[in-house]
Amino acid sequence: MAEADSSSEELYDETNWVLYKYRVDWKDVTPVPQDDGPYPIVAIVYSEKFQDIYDYFRAVLKSSEKSERALQLTKDALDLNPANYTVWQYRREILKHLNKDLIPELQYVKEMIEDNPKNYQVWHHRRIIVEWLQDPAYELSLTETILSQDSKNYHAWQHRQWIIRTFKLFQNELQYVNQLLDEDVRNNSAWNQRYFVINNTTGFKPDVVQQELMFTLDKIKTVSNNESAWNYLRGVLLHHDGGISQDQNVRQVCEELYSSGNRSPFLLAFLVDMCEENMERDDGDKEESLRRALQLCDVLANEYDTIRREYWNYMARSLAQRMDCPEREATGSTKTD
């Protein structure tokens, strides 16, 4: 006989569901209806099942009952609304009161996370259970499973960073990050994780800075129109004594990309920042740096980053003003000869 599909199973569960008010073992409990006040603005029409379960949940909450049946009741309530903080909190109180084995709870919340991967409350519950156990054994694999479905899931990344930092599990994390970047070099979350790992392990010492610059430049040469890599490059260069314009490899790659005809707005914006930094140096050619910066602002505003036209026009006026060029400032022109 063919197996029933999930929708058939759900239908079977619904048709065989017994409301709490009809259960013999709950006859001693008086349900507590929800009080929306005498004049609810928008009255929600709850299903009979939802109303029944939460009426009984309010009853056990009121009486502070912490029992096996109350624990099961919280599960039924969470199946209907996994975002209910009060139910999760009371479930934890019951678990602690009954001194329950928490390993099955990890399995339960894993299933809840798989069904509700962007629900803050399920991740919060998981974190507290792990804190109680002081055992992170299952956490990296869980987050990897969730991230394989959505590589930018904020809650999964937040949980993973907490686990890694709390239990010092940095050892193989860069390998995992590299794997994610190989799969999608535009994965901003993976770039952020790379910074997190290095910042919390070796730190951005000079040799690490050079290593990361070479890594990032290789990625940029592969896909230059990738904002995530450019942002990471800027982040690494914050730890460079010479600023963003003084590293020879960075300058060389940027100029090679530009000379080859590459007009990625992220490349052009980076070149503007390099020009601006050179304008502020005593040993820089200020006029030439300004001329090039204005030219770049012009093409960004009118061709390659038109959605931010006003920003680039503002940048051009601001740079000209700094160099005391009143004619450019007054006209707002970014044209050059």
Tokens of 203: 């730190």
Count of Cβ atoms closer than 10 Å to residue 177 Cβ: 21
Tokens (6 digits) for 246: 């003084």
Decide if 158 contacts 143 (C-beta within 8 A): no
Out of 75, 118, 152, 221, pick the active-site residue: 118
Contacts of 70 (CB under 8 A, 6+ apart): 60, 90, 94
Other CB atoms within 10 A of residue 204 CB = 18
**Nearest to 248, CA basis, from 208, 217, 282:** 217
Residues sharing a CB contact under 8 Å with residue 329, sequence separation 6 or more, in sequence order: 317, 320, 321
Q: Tokens for 98?
A: 């009954």
Residue 118 a catalytic site member: yes
Alpha-carbon distance of 213 to 261, in angstroms, equals: 22
Radius of gyration of the chain (CA): 29
Q: Smallest Cα–Cα separation from 126: which of 70, 100, 78, 111?
A: 111
8 A C-beta contact, residue 256 and residue 299: no
Among all residues, which ones are annotated catalytic?
118
